[in-house]
């Protein structure tokens, strides 16, 4: 057999790396032929082999050639095509004899003709060669002594027989020269049958140790109990493989199967298949490979035995390490098919095909320290291993850690850096790294208590740069690297980089709760923001702090929520809902002030946000529980009656989450309805299918949960209680059914499935009490048979019989600047499978920006009215900092108090983050002035020109229209008539019209102003008379009204007193006991104690009555 391929783990394929190999024992062993790929053909029953490379220039010359072998591939000869044609590219090589027994070959190819002057290709032409080997070995034909017997599989039994056939000896100097005949195999049946001749009977499956054990669901399908009237039936666990030719069968002991444990016919449970596997030791570690190819996982028990399964735990095989115990299993987080098993004897077992095959390599001669591997995000075979050097004892003063680098998957290691305890391939993590080869390491010398952060771009061969002399630690998340650096008075500071070179201090917001930064937890990053928990109370058992969120470069943080719960190990009750944007659930300490004063124990409450932390609310409780009863609290206020859930800090396995990335909108939680969170054992299990907007109690008591088929199958199992049943739902939690998966009750410690939650098989880990040997068990529960078919999915969107787009819950409006719909299953009778539904969400429309698209900026807080206000005594972020990061900038802007949420895609609408007045960057003042400077000379010229035009026009009108007609003293004449006006031409007439028009406008404006003033005075006088605090008007108010009317020249109003005398009521003027300012107007008049208005007014009027003649003259 001649084949083209490459040597490796099969995880990568590169056409440039393909080579040619040959096997002459049916594929049992292989030999290298050529360091390239090409065409090949055989003749004379495999005794002639011709190979032609695809690239004629692969050997370094332009002359075309082919290679041939006359000894079945042991040696090869090169034959150059010595005619004028060079660089022939082959596309066909055949043996024209149909059975391949001939000794002639036809080779077809193409070559290019070029222009001698320009050396450019002018045309492509075809060429054909005939290669004739009939004269090889001087045309000698093979005789009987030139043949040998060849044993198939090295003479071992295959299907109960041994096989051999005749073929030419490899070094024989002859050709067979005979037509092909069907192989005449010499078959010899094997006397005794072995285990390889048998397979499990239909009713049995193999367990982790390779033994065939009964599967009661398969037994139910076989109907063997229906044929027996007894309570049990004897069945042989093994059966001879069909077609096997071995003579003497093995003695097989039958297994007694109790028929009462078999599901009855017609039972719905018979459609669910359960496979049980028993172990003598507890399974301590288990993890799936995160792929869609199969359901492969690795398990490790308490004594170091490893097990592999490729079908979700139904069939489990023990991993053969030749007696070496496995001490640790590490999965590659960047390449999901890769895992590494560390042996106790210094071997490393690596797989890159989900455990189907393993390669063994030797670890460096160093003590295993149990530190995790650090992987490159772009090179699968590149990682860093940490071993102890000079470690006869781990407590030895000379014992220290060494970082070893491998670039070939562990086959070879080189010592990279002494005293390194944690490294990152930083250049592969950043979106825009300063150098893609950069590696960062945390170094701790044995003689020093401090740790430093160093970097290198050549794996510390020549380049070794110290970034920080003293750090607490560092980590990477979402394109950022955050470093914790100790400061004065046991305080911590955080520094952030997004390229590996420039580090900026993270500015935390001012908060009266935080006296100093002693501890913080990085909670992850998503789409341009880092979430961080800053501890404000570190008393053991009463830990809590503030939840912060950064800007896009991770340097400026704002407070999202106060008193968020955490535990002593730094874990925080914080969880982002997978697959949905901006939904976060936290637990807060509602009585944080009293807890901080050690007056009360913590009282936790659960909050949720739907806009990435800008606004928080308590969870809305369901109206009734799972039994249809109302909950004890029914307050309208969510502060007094809401749903509370136990969070991240209380989980046994930190891989467990509320939500699933594929079951969009679904979340399980254990909690209670009330004013605070109750102890775990007093809580029940709740479910939401709309991303946390509404919740339903599905089971009393705490349960473990798991999602399958993208939420199409939901499974619950009681927690901390022995059981023999699970509860499951296939209609998104609307209804639930129970299924009995085992005969004896077991304590289920965990329930898992593939990381994508797309499988229909669930794996339960249980422990049977008082069962002796084999008390640790796994149960694989398979739901594949309960569905009628797989859902029909059309990626083009033309057919959606089983799927439809719909919004999540009642949130049909815009969120983060767009309206999103999700693809969901509509038919409960079909299963989804590996369709990545989460990738098919769609944005219906983009939206205008609203208040919900913004959050408060650095040092601003959200007030009770929803606005962002600057913290008293503080200033906003220094906008000039951006000038340092972007040297080409000329200007910067002060903060408006708001910044856009990174998740938001809104356009237009509200612009709360609009820039204020610009300021020049330091050192760019001249460029700033040039950009915004005013050309004073040009503006002054324009201004002076306008003034001159106005002045000239005014002078011209005065000279031609007023001065020539007698000046201002003749204004009345101009107003009364046109007699005497000088109008010698059209210009004079136009000027006089302008003068008249101006005079009319002036008189009309003056008259309107006087009338308005008089009307206001009358209205004010009447208001004082009617609503004043006296029983009647004072003299001053009346006389002041008279003076106003007289001054306005409206005599008929000022002197007409009939309006006063006609009033029905008489107003009395009271005696004034104290001096009032209004009395100054009447100080010269003796006022009687009481008087009627008609008697008092004439006397006063007579004194001030104006001369009517004078008034007329003034008007004229």
671-722 pLDDT per residue, tens: 999 999 999 999 999 999 999 999 999 999 999 999 999 999 999 999 999 9
Rg (CA), the chain: 48
Amino acid 1104: pLDDT: 40
Amino acid 452: pLDDT: 94
- Average pLDDT (826-840) is 84
Amino acid 456: pLDDT: 95
| pLDDT tens per residue, range 848-886 | 888 888 888 877 878 878 788 887 767 776 666 667 667
Burial, 654: exposed, middle or buried (Cβ in 10 Å; 0-12, 13-18, 19+)? exposed
Contacts of 720 (CB under 8 A, 6+ apart): 681, 702, 747
Residue by residue, DSSP assigns 692-704 as SSS-EEEESS-EE
Is the pLDDT reported for residue 448 higher than 50? yes
Write down the residue that tokens 């008609």 correspond to.
1094
Instruction: Pull the structure tokens for residue 929.
Output: 């002035």
Amino acid 513: pLDDT: 57
Residue 12 binned pLDDT confidence (cut-offs 50, 70, 90): low
Q: What DSSP state is assigned to residue 849?
A: B
SS3 category, 444: strand
Cα–Cα distance measured from residue 58 to residue 36, given in angstroms and rounded to the nearest whole number: 8
Instruction: Pull the structure tokens for residue 1067.
Output: 């107003």
Contacts of 894 (CB under 8 A, 6+ apart): 876, 879, 916, 917, 919
Amino acid 898: pLDDT: 86
Cα–Cα distance measured from residue 37 to residue 15, given in angstroms and rounded to the nearest whole number: 9
Cα–Cα distance measured from residue 958 to residue 992, given in angstroms and rounded to the nearest whole number: 10
| pLDDT tens per residue, range 887-911 | 777 887 778 888 888 888 888 888 8
Q: What DSSP state is assigned to residue 364?
A: P
Lowest-confidence pick of 23-37, 401-415, 566-580, 1049-1063: 1049-1063
Write down the residue that tokens 């008279």 correspond to.
1042
- Tell me how far CA of residue 549 lies from CA of 478, 619, 913, in angstroms: 14, 22, 17
State which of 407-411, 957-961, 1069-1073 shows the largest mean pLDDT.
407-411
Instruction: Pull the structure tokens for residue 773.
Output: 């040997």
Is the pLDDT reported for residue 507 higher than 70? yes
**φ, ψ at 741 (rounded to 5°):** -100, -10
- Average pLDDT (179-190) is 80
Lowest-confidence pick of 58-62, 300-304, 410-414, 710-714: 58-62
| pLDDT tens per residue, range 645-685 | 999 999 888 888 999 888 888 999 999 999 999 999 999 99
Torsion angle defined by CA atoms of residues 363, 365, 369 and 370, in that order, rounded to the nearest 10 degrees: 10
- Tell me how far CA of residue 1053 lies from CA of 177, 620, 763, 1032, in angstroms: 144, 72, 103, 21
Cα–Cα distance measured from residue 50 to residue 39, given in angstroms and rounded to the nearest whole number: 8
State the sign of the Cα–Cα–Cα–Cα dihedral 150, 152, 153, 156.
negative
Residue 573 binned pLDDT confidence (cut-offs 50, 70, 90): very high
Q: What DSSP state is assigned to residue 933?
A: -
Burial, 245: exposed, middle or buried (Cβ in 10 Å; 0-12, 13-18, 19+)? middle
Q: What DSSP state is assigned to residue 110?
A: E
Is the pLDDT reported for residue 600 higher than 90? no
Is the pLDDT reported for residue 607 higher than 90? yes
SS3 category, 970: helix
Lowest-confidence pick of 332-336, 384-388, 860-864: 860-864
SS3 category, 472: coil
Write down the residue that tokens 């490294």 correspond to.
423
Lowest-confidence pick of 356-365, 540-549, 631-640: 631-640
Lowest-confidence pick of 509-518, 664-673, 982-991, 1011-1020: 509-518
| pLDDT tens per residue, range 17-37 | 788 999 988 888 899 988 888
| pLDDT tens per residue, range 1008-1047 | 888 888 888 887 777 776 655 444 443 333 334 333 343 3
Cα–Cα distance measured from residue 468 to residue 912, given in angstroms and rounded to the nearest whole number: 38
E strand segments, 498-554: 504-505, 520-525, 530-537, 544-550
Cα–Cα distance measured from residue 435 to residue 427, given in angstroms and rounded to the nearest whole number: 6
Amino acid 843: pLDDT: 83
Q: What DSSP state is assigned to residue 1015?
A: H
Is the pLDDT reported for residue 517 higher than 80? no
Cα–Cα distance measured from residue 893 to residue 1056, given in angstroms and rounded to the nearest whole number: 68
Cα–Cα distance measured from residue 445 to residue 400, given in angstroms and rounded to the nearest whole number: 8
| pLDDT tens per residue, range 450-487 | 899 999 999 999 999 999 999 989 989 888 999 999 88
CA nearest 171: which of 248, 83, 73?
A: 73
Write down the residue that tokens 């006006």 correspond to.
981
Strand 713-718 relative to strand 722-723: parallel, antiparallel, unpaired?
unpaired
Residue 730 binned pLDDT confidence (cut-offs 50, 70, 90): very high
Cα–Cα distance measured from residue 237 to residue 1047, given in angstroms and rounded to the nearest whole number: 127
Residue 798 binned pLDDT confidence (cut-offs 50, 70, 90): low
| pLDDT tens per residue, range 748-771 | 999 999 999 999 999 999 998 765
Residue 1054 binned pLDDT confidence (cut-offs 50, 70, 90): very low
Amino acid 689: pLDDT: 92
Amino acid 972: pLDDT: 53
State the sign of the Cα–Cα–Cα–Cα dihedral 424, 429, 433, 437.
positive
Amino acid 1030: pLDDT: 45
SS3 category, 4: strand
Amino acid 1113: pLDDT: 41
- Tell me how far CA of residue 612 lies from CA of 156, 481, 648, 845, in angstroms: 66, 22, 18, 20
Cα–Cα distance measured from residue 713 to residue 730, given in angstroms and rounded to the nearest whole number: 5
Is the pLDDT reported for residue 89 higher than 90? no
Torsion angle defined by CA atoms of residues 588, 592, 598 and 603, in that order, rounded to the nearest 10 degrees: -40
Cα–Cα distance measured from residue 981 to residue 974, given in angstroms and rounded to the nearest whole number: 8
- Average pLDDT (840-849) is 84
Exposure class string for 666-681: b at 16+ Cβ within 10 A, else e: bbbbbbbbbbebeeee
CA nearest 861: which of 878, 873, 849?
A: 873
- Average pLDDT (598-610) is 91
| pLDDT tens per residue, range 533-548 | 988 888 888 899 999 9
Cα–Cα distance measured from residue 1104 to residue 1046, given in angstroms and rounded to the nearest whole number: 10
Cα–Cα distance measured from residue 731 to residue 713, given in angstroms and rounded to the nearest whole number: 8
Q: What DSSP state is assigned to residue 1106?
A: P
Residue 189: which H helix or E strand, with range? strand 186-189
Amino acid 263: pLDDT: 56
Amino acid 835: pLDDT: 81
pTM recorded for the entire structure: 0.64
Cα–Cα distance measured from residue 507 to residue 874, given in angstroms and rounded to the nearest whole number: 13
Residue 246 binned pLDDT confidence (cut-offs 50, 70, 90): very high
Cα–Cα distance measured from residue 170 to residue 155, given in angstroms and rounded to the nearest whole number: 19
**Higher local confidence (pLDDT), 1061 or 615:** 615
- Of the chain, the percentage scoring pLDDT greater than 90 comes to 35
Strand 830-831 relative to strand 789-790: parallel, antiparallel, unpaired?
parallel
| pLDDT tens per residue, range 387-439 | 988 888 777 888 889 999 999 988 899 999 999 999 999 999 988 899 999 99
Cβ atoms of residues 419 and 453 within 8 Å = no
Contacts of 404 (CB under 8 A, 6+ apart): 364, 366, 384, 385, 386, 387, 413, 414, 415, 416
E strand segments, 539-666: 544-550, 557-565, 574-576, 584-589, 604-609, 617-618, 642-645
Cα–Cα distance measured from residue 17 to residue 399, given in angstroms and rounded to the nearest whole number: 43
Is the pLDDT reported for residue 1060 higher than 80? no
Lowest-confidence pick of 382-386, 420-424, 459-463, 947-951: 947-951
Q: What DSSP state is assigned to residue 640?
A: T
Residue 1053 binned pLDDT confidence (cut-offs 50, 70, 90): very low
Lowest-confidence pick of 240-254, 423-437, 615-629, 944-958: 944-958
Lowest-confidence pick of 507-516, 843-852, 998-1007: 507-516
Q: At CA 334, angle to CA 333 and CA 337, rounded to 5? A: 80
CA nearest 32: which of 6, 61, 53, 65?
A: 6
Give 252-301 as a 3 state SS string: CCCEEEEHHHCCCCCCHHHHCEEEEEEECCCEEEEEECCCCCCECEEEEE
Q: How far apart are the first and last CA of the chain?
A: 132
């Amino acid at each position: 057999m001649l084949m083209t391929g490459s040597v490796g783990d099969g995880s990568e394929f590169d056409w440039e790396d393909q080579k040619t190999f040959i096997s002459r024992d049916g594929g049992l062993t292989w030999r290298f032929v050529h360091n390239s790929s090409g065409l090949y053909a055989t003749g004379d029953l495999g005794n002639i082999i011709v190979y032609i490379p695809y690239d004629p220039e692969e050997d370094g010359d332009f002359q075309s050639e082919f290679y041939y072998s006359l000894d079945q591939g042991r040696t090869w000869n090169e034959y150059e095509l010595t005619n004028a044609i060079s660089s022939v590219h082959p596309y066909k090589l055949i043996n024209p004899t149909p059975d391949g027994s001939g000794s002639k070959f036809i080779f077809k190819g193409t070559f290019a003709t070029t222009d001698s002057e320009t050396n450019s290709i002018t045309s492509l032409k075809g060429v054909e060669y005939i290669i004739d080997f009939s004269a090889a070995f001087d045309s000698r034909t093979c005789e009987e002594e030139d043949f040998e017997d060849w044993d198939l599989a090295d003479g071992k039994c295959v299907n109960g027989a041994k096989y051999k056939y005749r073929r030419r000896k490899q070094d024989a100097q002859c050709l067979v020269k005979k037509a092909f005949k069907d192989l005449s195999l010499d078959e010899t049946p094997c006397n005794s049958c072995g285990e390889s001749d048998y397979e499990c009977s239909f009713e049995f499956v193999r367990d982790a140790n390779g033994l065939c054990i009964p599967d009661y669901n398969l037994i139910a399908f076989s109907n063997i109990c229906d044929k027996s009237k007894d309570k049990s039936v004897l069945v042989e666990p093994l059966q001879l493989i069909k077609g096997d030719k071995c003579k003497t069968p093995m003695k097989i002991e039958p297994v007694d199967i109790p028929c009462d444990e078999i599901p009855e016919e017609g039972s719905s449970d018979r459609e669910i298949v359960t496979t049980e596997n028993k172990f003598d030791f507890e399974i301590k570690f288990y993890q799936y490979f995160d792929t869609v190819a199969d359901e492969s996982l690795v398990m490790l028990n308490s004594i170091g035995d490893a097990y592999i399964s490729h079908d979700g735990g139904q069939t489990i095989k023990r991993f053969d390490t030749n007696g070496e115990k496995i001490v640790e299993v590490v999965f590659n987080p960047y390449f999901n098919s890769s895992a590494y098993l560390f042996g106790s004897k210094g071997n490393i077992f690596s797989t890159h095909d989900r455990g189907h095959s393993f390669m063994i390599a030797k670890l460096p001669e160093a003590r295993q320290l149990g530190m995790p591997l650090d992987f490159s995000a772009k090179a699968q075979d590149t990682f860093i291993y940490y071993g102890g050097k000079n470690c006869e004892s781990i407590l030895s003063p000379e014992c220290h850690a060494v970082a070893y680098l491998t670039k070939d998957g562990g086959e070879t290691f080189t010592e990279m850096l002494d005293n390194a305890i944690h490294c990152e391939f930083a250049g592969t993590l950043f979106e825009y790294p300063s150098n893609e080869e950069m590696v960062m390491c945390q170094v701790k010398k044995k003689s020093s208590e401090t740790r430093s952060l160093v970097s290198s771009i050549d794996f510390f061969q020549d380049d070794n740069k110290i970034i920080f002399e003293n750090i607490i630690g560092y980590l990477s998340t979402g394109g950022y690297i955050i470093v914790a650096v100790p400061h004065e008075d046991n305080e911590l500071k955080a520094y952030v980089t997004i390229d590996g070179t420039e580090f900026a201090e993270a500015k935390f917001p001012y908060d009266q709760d935080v006296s100093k930064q002693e501890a913080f937890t990085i909670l992850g990053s998503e789409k341009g923001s880092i979430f961080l928990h800053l501890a404000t109370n570190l008393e053991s058992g009463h830990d809590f702090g503030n939840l912060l969120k950064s800007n896009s470069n991770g340097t400026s943080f704002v407070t999202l929520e106060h008193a968020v719960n955490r535990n002593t190990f730094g874990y925080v009750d914080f969880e982002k809902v997978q697959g949905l944007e901006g939904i976060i659930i936290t637990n807060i300490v509602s009585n944080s002030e009293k807890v901080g004063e050690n007056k009360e124990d913590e009282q936790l409450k659960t909050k949720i946000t739907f806009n990435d932390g800008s606004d928080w609310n308590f969870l809305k409780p369901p109206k009734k529980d799972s039994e249809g009863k109302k909950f004890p609290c029914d307050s309208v206020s969510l502060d007094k009656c809401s749903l509370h859930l136990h969070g991240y800090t209380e989980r046994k396995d930190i891989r467990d989450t509320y939500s699933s990335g594929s079951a969009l909108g679904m979340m399980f939680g254990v909690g209670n309805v009330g004013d605070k969170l109750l102890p775990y054992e007093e809580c029940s299990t709740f479910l939401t299918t709309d991303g946390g907007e509404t919740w339903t109690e599905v089971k009393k008591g705490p349960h473990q949960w798991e999602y399958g088929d993208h939420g199409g199958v939901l499974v619950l199992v009681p927690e901390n209680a022995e059981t023999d049943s699970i509860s499951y739902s296939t209609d998104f939690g609307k209804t639930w059914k129970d299924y009995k998966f085992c005969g004896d009750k077991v304590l289920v410690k965990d329930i898992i499935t593939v990381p994508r939650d797309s499988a229909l098989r669930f794996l339960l880990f249980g422990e049977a009490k008082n069962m002796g040997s084999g008390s640790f068990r796994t149960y694989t529960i398979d739901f594949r048979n309960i569905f009628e078919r797989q859902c029909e999915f059309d990626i083009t969107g033309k057919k959606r019989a089983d799927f439809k787009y719909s919004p999540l819950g009642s949130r049909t409006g815009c969120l983060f600047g767009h309206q999103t719909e999700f693809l969901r299953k509509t038919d409960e009778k079909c299963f989804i499978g590996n369709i990545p539904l989460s990738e098919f969400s769609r944005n219906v429309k983009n939206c205008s920006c609203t208040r919900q698209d913004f959050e408060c900026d650095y040092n601003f807080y959200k007030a009770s009215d929803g606005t962002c206000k600057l913290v008293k005594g503080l200033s906003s972020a220094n906008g000039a900092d951006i000038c340092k990061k972007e040297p080409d900038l000329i200007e910067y802007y002060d903060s408006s108090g708001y910044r856009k949420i990174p998740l938001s895609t809104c356009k237009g609408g509200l612009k709360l983050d609009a820039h204020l007045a610009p300021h020049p960057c330091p050192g760019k003042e001249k460029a700033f002035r040039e950009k915004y400077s005013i050309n004073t000379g040009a503006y002054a010229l324009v201004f002076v020109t306008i003034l001159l035009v106005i002045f000239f026009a005014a002078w011209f009108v005065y000279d031609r229209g007023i001065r020539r007609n007698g000046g201002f003293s003749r204004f009345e004449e101009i107003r009364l008539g046109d007699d005497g006006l000088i109008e010698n031409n059209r210009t004079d007439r136009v000027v006089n019209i302008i003068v008249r028009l101006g005079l009319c406008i002036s008189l009309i404006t003056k008259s309107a102003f006087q009338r308005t003033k008089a009307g206001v005075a009358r209205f004010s006088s009447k208001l004082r008379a009617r609503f004043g605090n006296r029983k009647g008007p004072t003299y001053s108010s009346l006389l002041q009204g008279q003076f106003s009317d007289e001054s306005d020249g409206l005599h008929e109003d000022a002197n007409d007193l009939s309006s006063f005398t006609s009033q029905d009521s008489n107003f009395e003027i009271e005696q004034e006991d104290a001096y009032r300012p209004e009395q100054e107007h009447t100080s010269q008049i003796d006022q009687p104690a009481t008087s009627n208005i008609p008697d008092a007014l004439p006397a006063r009027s007579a004194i001030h009555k104006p001369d009517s003649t004078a008034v007329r003259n003034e008007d004229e």
